[in-house]
Amino acid sequence: MGERDWRPFVYGGVASCVAEFGTFPIDTTKTRLQIQGQKLDKNHAILKYRGMVDCFLKIAKQEGFGALYSGIWPAVLRQATYGTIKFGTYYTLKRMLVVYNDGKESIALNVGCGIVAGAVSSAIANPTDVLKVRMQVAGSNGNTNIGLINCFRDVYTHEGLSGLWRGVNPTAQRAAVIAAIELPVYDFCKSHLLDLLGDKAVNHFISSLIASIGSAIGSTPIDVVRTRLMNQRKLKKCGGPLPSHIYHGTVDCFVQTYRNEGFWAFYKGFIPTLFRMGPWNIIFFLTYEQLKNLY
């Protein structure tokens, strides 16, 4: 494999880390919003936050501004693996398949590449995602001093190695949905705007924004389930009956969430998701395209 073949992996990893730093506080508010209200009797559910702005302000006031960056290091570690593999695999696989397809690029081909790249990369990076979610949620439980190593030790001690892959199924599904929408839509918009705007920053900005809207709509329900499963402890030894809000897998989490909180519960955190995906994709693709132009 030549040097050029590795460039999408390197560019994808670097651009992902840059975008993560710039948008992480919004991700923290999204996670907090997604886990609240998880009770069978929704009349007794405690809703601490009334929305994205309220959540952002309360975290900053009650826990300090640094709490908005709780989990940033596993998140950056995740992007260094997930982002590198995802974007590198997508563009490399697409280039290979286009050659076998007589040089023709199609939406179906791009969607297929996105599904493979998203699912594989997210499954590999799942442990870092679990640690990120746990650290983001810790502040709401009064634990504001948890670190990456302590969080890892806590998960491993109480849940074993399998705890690091909690929520891997919805995580892989969500990543596949996002990649199947986000990357092909970006490529489609960019190519169709070339004649009007050229291969310039304004084209990259508009294309990445449109891609963000589609991926946010398609991925938020899966993201809610993924976050709830990752936040849930699976104790090796549990005396007595399990708590009523325990989820026994992805399907059960979907069913319980719909039954107890209704359809719109699947779009909890949608606004911060959209507000994060928009800037994240804009920062990512602008950085990615600039790195391509540099070399």
pLDDT band with cut points at 50, 70 and 90 for residue 237: very low
Would you say residue 201 lies in a domain?
A: yes
Would you say residue 183 lies in a domain?
A: yes
Q: What is the pLDDT of residue 240?
A: 47
Q: What is the pLDDT of residue 1?
A: 42
Q: What is the pLDDT of residue 45?
A: 56
In three-state secondary structure terms, 109 is helix
CATH of the domain at 24: 1.50.40.10
Q: Which residues lie closer than 8 Å to 270 by C-beta, 6 or more apart?
A: 216, 220
Q: Look at 50 and 123; give whichever has higher pLDDT.
A: 123
152/24 Cα distance (integer angstroms): 20
Would you say residue 141 lies in a domain?
A: yes
Q: In which residue are the tokens 């976050």 written?
A: 227
218/183 Cα distance (integer angstroms): 13
pLDDT per residue as tens digits for the range 89-137: 998 899 888 888 777 888 889 999 999 999 999 999 899 888 888 887 7
Would you say residue 13 lies in a domain?
A: yes
Q: What is the pLDDT of residue 139?
A: 65
Residues belonging to the chain: 295
Would you say residue 95 lies in a domain?
A: yes
Q: What is the mean pLDDT of residues 16-21?
A: 92
Would you say residue 237 lies in a domain?
A: no
Q: What percent of the chain has pLDDT over 70?
A: 88
200/275 Cα distance (integer angstroms): 23
| Mean pLDDT score across all residues of the chain | 85
Would you say residue 181 lies in a domain?
A: yes
208/117 Cα distance (integer angstroms): 18
pLDDT per residue as tens digits for the range 193-225: 999 999 999 999 999 999 999 999 988 998 898
Alpha helix (H) residue ranges in 160-231: 168-192, 194-197, 201-231
Q: What is the pLDDT of residue 40?
A: 44
Please tell me the total count of domains within the chain.
1
108 half-sphere exposure, CB direction, 13 A CA radius: 2
Q: What percent of the chain has pLDDT over 90?
A: 38
Q: Residue 154 belongs to what H/E stretch?
A: helix 148-159
Tell if the pTM clears 0.85, that is, is over it.
no
pLDDT per residue as tens digits for the range 149-195: 888 888 888 888 888 888 888 889 889 999 999 999 999 999 999 99
Q: What is the pLDDT of residue 39?
A: 56
Let me know if 244 is exposed, middle or buried by CB neighbors in 10 A (0-12, 13-18, 19+). Answer: exposed
CA dihedral 213, 214, 217, 220 (to 10 degrees): -90
Would you say residue 32 lies in a domain?
A: yes
Give the range of the structural domain holding residue 205, as residue numbers without chain letter. Answer: 3-232+242-294
